[in-house]
A = this chain, B = another copy of it.
Amino acid sequence: MAGNPPQPSTSHPLADFKVGVDNIIFSIDTAAHRLLVLLVMRQQQPFCDRWSLPGTLVRQGESLEDAAYRILDEKIKVENLYLEQLYSFGGPHRDPRESAGSYNVRYLSVSYFALVRFEEAQLIPNQSTGVAWYPIEEVPSLAFDHNQILEYGYRRLRNKLEYSPVAFDVLPELFTLGELYQFYLTVLGEGFSDYSNFRARLLKLGFLSDTGIKTSRGAGRPATLYRFDAEAFSPLKDKPLVFV
């Protein structure tokens, strides 16, 4: 934590902060091949009537993570998700409110990055508040510096996918290798790997257990359902594992 006590001297007065939490909520619609991000329409100044990342200010007695979950719960109903802190933006003059009247209070934003299961996520229709999934390539100009935050979060998402098993936090309990492949393809873009090579590599790693169950989605040969075996995966933790 902070090192020095609030300095009694007047030469270098400390800044007073309100702390906000902004969430980048990603979801992957594998069927439509789309990476989506949740945006909300701002209802008040500043940046009224502009889209923005869903955010809130931290309340008394509330932790940063609590605040992040609170936003999530207000916007969508979801069971399975992955949540992680991203970055803190705290320079002066970030927020127009700082100059306006408020006793020199500064606004610091801690951004969180979330991944939710698309098929299960239900948008909560708020009173007149616009909430919508936007495909990542169609995101408009956002309030504050939210476009930069989003950019940063998108890079982090791609990195996370490549070296950690987040995909399984957000895929259904049972899934086919085709679904897994589509998932990666959607986020990482075309040409990251051939399907059959992806398949062979993942299976050789040994943490996908074959349930023996077959499932048929429309035409084509029925696919085997697999389950992520966390125990078999654990020895691979923090190895320089590559999924792509």
Which A residues contact B (CB, under 8 angstroms)? 1-7, 12-22, 40, 42, 44-45, 52-65, 71, 85, 87-92, 94-95, 97, 102, 104, 107-110, 143-146, 155, 162, 238, 240, 242, 244
| Contact for A3 among B15, B56, B238, CB less than 8 A | B56
Q: List the B side residues contacting A56 at CB < 8 Å.
A: 2-4
Are A58 and B20 touching (Cβ within 8 A)?
A: no
Are A3 and B59 touching (Cβ within 8 A)?
A: no
Other A-B pairs, 12, CB within 8 Å; known A3-B40, A85-B87 = A1-B55, A1-B145, A2-B20, A12-B60, A15-B18, A17-B18, A19-B19, A63-B92, A64-B90, A64-B91, A85-B88, A90-B110
Distance A182 CA – B165 CA, assembled complex (angstroms): 33
User: Chain B nearest CB: distance from A123 CB in Å?
Assistant: 16
Distance A238 CA – B158 CA, assembled complex (angstroms): 11
Distance A194 CA – B55 CA, assembled complex (angstroms): 49
A-B contact pairs, 9 of them (CB 8 A): A2-B21, A3-B40, A4-B44, A5-B97, A6-B102, A14-B60, A15-B18, A64-B90, A162-B240
User: Chain B nearest CB: distance from A22 CB in Å?
Assistant: 7
Q: List the B side residues contacting A155 at CB < 8 Å.
A: 238
Q: Which residue of B lies closest to A13 (CB)?
A: B60
Interface centre among A6, A19, A40, A144 (most CB of B within 10 A): A19
| Contact for A14 among B18, B54, B55, B95, CB less than 8 A | B18
Interface centre among A5, A53, A242 (most CB of B within 10 A): A5
Q: List the B side residues contacting A18 at CB < 8 Å.
A: 2, 6, 14-17
Q: List the B side residues contacting A162 at CB < 8 Å.
A: 240
| Contact for A22 among B1, B15, B87, B146, CB less than 8 A | B1
Are A14 and B52 touching (Cβ within 8 A)?
A: no
Distance A4 CA – B107 CA, assembled complex (angstroms): 12
Q: List the B side residues contacting A65 at CB < 8 Å.
A: 91
Q: Which residue of B lies closest to A20 (CB)?
A: B2
Q: List the B side residues contacting A71 at CB < 8 Å.
A: 3
